[in-house]
Structure 1
Amino acid sequence: NKRDRLAVVEALNAINTPNALKLLLQMARSEPDEQVRCEALLALSNRGVKEALPLLADLVQKGEPSIASTAAIGLTRYGEEGRKVLRRLLNSERRETRLAAAKALATLSDPAAIETLKQRASTNDLAQRITALQLMARAGDEKALRELIGFLSHDEPVVRLRARLSIYAVGRQAIPLLIQTLDSPDNRLRAESALILGALKADIAREKLASLLKDPDPQVREAAQMALRRLEEPSQ
């Protein structure tokens, strides 16, 4: 069954001899199940096996969305050669393929990904838009990060939560803008930014967060208190 075949992939990956890699390549070529095929190809991409490259590209082109995204990440392990394939896949007629390639290129801070993500960010679907903005922000687009931070003051709690998680995923490069946002006249923006700075362990924001303990808004004071507590917690 499928679970057994996935276990075989794991075992061959651990063995990591030339024969084991040959068997993985055979599985990647003949396995009917997309997930098993994808796992075999990822194992091969970790070892830089060139024969896996066109097979990964095929999965990005034809695989269901989550498989396509995973296979695209496999292509990033092939340096400039993988990058060229991903850029080519940005021109695919299939939307899922374009998005998978753009996501993978965004992890490499590749400017070619930004245009595709910009189109995605203009959608009315807020969940899709926030995802696209997050990827753009991770690729260094400051305008996208500003827009993402703007969602922290949205009326819908679920939108604020998505924005908060996305900014956290952008990581430490979001810290300078979040510190600026602590001066916003919007109470919600100040509170949400404080919480994220605490989660990011942004020690550089300590003084600014301490000043918010005297903020006129009780939610901002509470958020600042929570953030300062997070700064005191030992790193995992």
Structure 2
Amino acid sequence: MFIQLCYRFVGVGFILALLFSPTLSLANPSPARTFVQPCTNLDIAQAIANFKDPWQQQTNARYLVACGSAAVPALLQTLQTDPDATVREWAIISLGWIGDPVVIPVLIARLQSDVSAVVRRTAADALGQMQAVKAVPALVAMLKKSSEDIAVRNAVAEALGLISDNVAIQQLVAVLNNPREDLNLRNIAIKALIKIGDPAIPVLIQTLDHPDLRSRYWAALALAEINSAQSLTALKAQSNKVDQILEAAYDAEIVEFDRVPASAAQRGSSAQIVRKPIVCKIKWVAQHWARCR
């Protein structure tokens, strides 16, 4: 009995040693290599090679960003030649953080042709982060490509929202107003239009007359969420139309109201309806903002 207890004690101790050893535990990865300035070609190459190690990716990306333009040639070469999609992904992340416009054509090429959907998505993210207006035609073409991976198209929609180009606005509205599009993509498109802000207001006002109810409702929501003097003026001018949209959205169960009688005839005037905050914001933001608080 005593011998068995000893064996168990030794076994438990060995397992604990494996778990908490600084060299073996996954919770305590070995520290990334410390680089010194100025950046040498050898250190840049080593940092890129370290992208294969998930524990060191961010650390090495930050180092390459600190190197700035000196790291760009090696990163571009990596995009062209490295077969590892993870390495290409982090090369693009680094290039996006560096923000050198010279890389935009290469990022567009990765967006259009890389075999990895993750890399294509990351290229879209980087182009949006860089606010690359020159990339808008390629981004729009990718957004229109219904056969493309939906995660890539979602990233493209977000990128167009960061660029805020007129062509980008028109394409985002086209996605919003297409009932056959993926619902999540349409939701991302409306968020992108909200991020664009005032430049998107004219097309959002036009969308209030769109045949698709969800498009009309989201346009009203976007005008409220933009929450600028121009959008509030637009909401006030369109208050009757917005009220009709909200009533129809309630009937279609696109949006719910709190404590509303079941019968439409019993609901009475809109002033008597107690709404959820987001709906209240849309309806009353121009005239009765205090009621929403």
- Asked if the contact 2:176–2:190 (Cα under 8 Å) also holds between the matched residues in 1, the reply is no
Amino acid at match of 1:124: S
Alignment of 1:67-82 (within 5 A): 68-79=88-99, 82=100
CA distance in 2, matches of 1:35, 1:229: 49
CA distance in 1, matches of 2:125, 2:27: 28
Match of 1:184 in 2: 209
Cα drift, residue 120 of structure 1: 1.6
Amino acid at match of 1:225: C
Alignment of 1:1-236 (within 5 A): 3-5=27-29, 8-9=31-32, 18=36, 28=47, 31=50, 33-49=52-68, 52-57=71-76, 60-61=79-80, 62=82, 63-64=84-85, 68-79=88-99, 82-91=100-109, 94-96=114-116, 97=119, 100-125=122-147, 127=150, 128-129=152-153, 131-155=155-179, 159-170=182-193, 171-173=195-197, 175-181=200-206, 183-186=208-211, 187-214=213-240, 215-217=243-245, 218=247, 219=249, 225-227=280-282
CA distance in 2, matches of 1:88, 1:32: 19
Amino acid at match of 2:139: L
Amino acid at match of 2:280: Q
- Asked if the contact 1:183–1:190 (Cα under 8 Å) also holds between the matched residues in 2, the reply is yes
- Count of residues in correspondence between the two structures: 223
Distance change in 2, residues 1:91/1:139 (3 Å): same
Gaps of 5+ in 2: 1-24, 251-269
TM-score, normalized by length of structure 1?
Answer: 0.66
- Asked if the contact 1:90–1:116 (Cα under 8 Å) also holds between the matched residues in 2, the reply is yes
Aligned to 1:184, the other structure's residue is in SS state coil
Distance change in 2, residues 1:40/1:53 (3 Å): farther
- Asked if the contact 1:152–1:163 (Cα under 8 Å) also holds between the matched residues in 2, the reply is yes
After superposition, the CA RMSD in angstroms is 4.3
Deviates more, 1:47-56 or 1:200-209: 47-56
- Asked if the contact 2:128–2:158 (Cα under 8 Å) also holds between the matched residues in 1, the reply is no
Aligned to 1:125, the other structure's residue is in SS state coil
Distance change in 2, residues 1:27/1:78 (3 Å): same
**Larger helix share, 1 or 2:** 1
Amino acid at match of 2:174: G
TM-score, normalized by length of structure 2?
Answer: 0.56
Cα drift, residue 4 of structure 1: 3.2
- Asked if the contact 1:29–1:37 (Cα under 8 Å) also holds between the matched residues in 2, the reply is no
Aligned to 1:47, the other structure's residue is in SS state helix
CA distance in 1, matches of 2:50, 2:69: 19
CA distance in 1, matches of 2:57, 2:285: 39
Amino acid at match of 2:85: E
Cα drift, residue 64 of structure 1: 2.7
Aligned to 1:207, the other structure's residue is in SS state helix
Cα drift, residue 112 of structure 1: 3.8
Distance change in 2, residues 1:202/1:71 (3 Å): farther
Distance change in 2, residues 1:176/1:88 (3 Å): same
Identity %: 14
Cα drift, residue 55 of structure 1: 4.8
